[in-house]
Amino acid sequence: MTIQIGDRLPATTFSHATADGPRPVTTDDVFKGKTVALFAVPGAFTPTCSARHLPGFVDHLTTFADKGVDTVACVSVNDAFVMKAWAESQSIGLDEIMMLGDGNGDFARAIGLTMDAKGFGMGERSQRYAMLVKDGVVTQLNVEQPGEFKVSTAEHLIAQL
């Protein structure tokens, strides 16, 4: 079942890309007591994700902070090493965007937002979405239709704050 507005995020563990290497973080570590703008991409280094999705959130970090968002986080079915390399390739500091690896897709499956990308040689991946999470509860959820990039943008999520 797909997660809905008002649902609490399921307990899971991510691999967080840090300057000192991967570090496990739980959903409580990321979301408890915080307001988090979380966006998911099908894959690091993929065209739309690299050219538009991640840069859009970086461009609006100050706006998110001004509107009460404590953390902006990006999650992908990639490992933390890939997430770190992707941030570095985009000249993004790991203190700016929390880069979360969901290497086995456990989080994506737990919230019901996976997609079959086998046709692209990518296996099971996360759908593209953006959500606002307050203290572990989803307050906004914007899931893209296949091939679209409209409702998961930073600008769309900011308009909902």
**Catalytic position from the list 3, 36, 44, 49:** 49
Q: What is the 3-state secondary structure (H, E, C) of the chain?
A: CCCCCCCECCCCEEEEEECCEEEEEEHHHHHCCCEEEEEEECCCCCHHHHHHHHHHHHHCHHHHHHCCCCEEEEEECCCHHHHHHHHHHCCCCCCCCEEEECCCCHHHHHCCCEEECHHHCCCEEECCEEEEEECCEEEEEEECCCCCCCCCCHHHHHHCC
Identify whether 49 is a catalytic site residue: yes
Provide the annotated active-site residues: 49
